[in-house]
Amino acid sequence: MGTMVKGRWVEEDRIIEDGGFKRRPSVFGTSLASDLASAIRTEAGRYHLIASLSCPWSHCTIIARTLKGLEREVPLQIAGGPRVQGYPVNAGAAWTVPGSDHQIVHMHELYSLSDPNYSGRSTVPVLWDSVRQEIVSNESAQILRLFDAVPPSSDGLDFTLVPPGLTEQIDALNQRLYGDLSNAVYRAGLAQRQDLYEEAVDQVFAMLDDLEARLVAQRFLFGPVLSESDLRLLPTLLRFDSVYHGHFRCSRRRLADYPNLWAYARDLYAWHGIAATTDFQVIREGYYLNDGAGNPFGIVAVAPDTDWSVAHGREELSPAFLFARDGKPFEVDPLTLQRRGKG
């Protein structure tokens, strides 16, 4: 896969160094305007999310958009299809950039529209400002936090995934989830050296073992209340048995071999709107046809024989809660995202 040098696409891969996969830091959106979150609610249709259904970083922004009730405010453009020059924006067909007459086919064209001198990878997800004609952010962690800060609509549920008092712990766990699991599976799958591959695999399973133990007695990562860390973890679990176990050679165990983690993943999958953001066939095709070397004939693995809709039984541990913005938890029905009980 190529990259951008001074606003132009070059067919040169700079993601492998000394046999190991290095993901570059995102460069847009290093600091965001403080009024951006409220602008997202009040200026419906101004900001657009361009994201891929197979990419786990994209997936957590798509899930946050759904849980936060931003479908109308933030239109979604699905980037996907054969990667001729990186990600196509519209399955290879022309796409009119919102707020302009520009027609583009590849993601990298959006990057050079935003910054004609851009050098770096043209990754998804991207949050696009159709008024200023620029990328607001190309970092999923930042987009996720931004969506969380958007005030609720008049009839929407007011909650936060990052309550005051828990921010540091959430940040610390997110960092481990990224380094030891969500990005480590890529380091395993894209490694060009046996030792680096094995090191990454060891990290992945040490982290899964930790998470399994953490989830024995509590419903979510921070107890009975859903937090941002749960949303950061879920996309990797959704892809584990379908893709990472086989294609990325994280083959020591399957998600389905971890009773608590597997039930936890099904619990989250059942939350309002999340299943509809998940297309396992598109996920498998996205990876097997585009990500990772060693699949010269483009064979897409068949789906594992696991059923995401089997009852998870996690309500026996506790009801499900969300945090109000003042940090007080309140009970919700995960299936409808409606408040339960009084208040």
What's at 120, amino acid-wise? G
Helix (H) or strand (E) holding 211: helix 194-214
Q: Is 250 a catalytic residue?
A: no
Q: Is 81 in the site for ligand GSH (CB under 6 A)?
A: no
Integer Cα distance of 268 and 236 in angstroms: 12
Is there a contact between 116 and 103 (Cβ–Cβ < 8 Å)? no
Four-point Cα dihedral 10, 291, 264, 158, nearest 10: 30
Length of the chain: 343
207/320 with CB nearer ligand GSH: 207
292/319 with CB nearer ligand GSH: 292
Window 20-79: residues binding ligand GSH (CB under 6 A): 23, 26, 55, 57
- We find the least distance from the C-beta atom of residue 318 to ligand GSH, in angstroms, to be 30
Q: Is 14 in the site for ligand GSH (CB under 6 A)?
A: no
Q: Is 186 a catalytic residue?
A: yes
Q: Is 241 in the site for ligand GSH (CB under 6 A)?
A: no
Pick the catalytic residue from 111, 178, 186, 287.
186
Q: Is 124 in the site for ligand GSH (CB under 6 A)?
A: yes
C-alpha distances out from residue 66 to 265, 273, 274, 280, 313, Å: 18, 6, 7, 18, 24
Is there a contact between 164 and 327 (Cβ–Cβ < 8 Å)? yes
DSSP states along 150-186: SPPPTTS---BSS-TTTHHHHHHHHHHHIIIIITHHH
Up-side HSE of residue 299: CA atoms within 13 Å toward CB?
A: 8
Q: Is 89 in the site for ligand GSH (CB under 6 A)?
A: no
| Stretch near ligand GSH under the rule CB under 6 A, chosen from 43-51, 122-130, 305-313, 331-339 | 122-130
87/240 with CB nearer ligand GSH: 87
87/95 with CB nearer ligand GSH: 87
Q: Is 121 in the site for ligand GSH (CB under 6 A)?
A: yes
Active site residues: 55, 186
Q: Site residues (CB under 6 A) for ligand GSH?
A: 1, 23, 26, 55, 57, 86-87, 121-125, 139-140
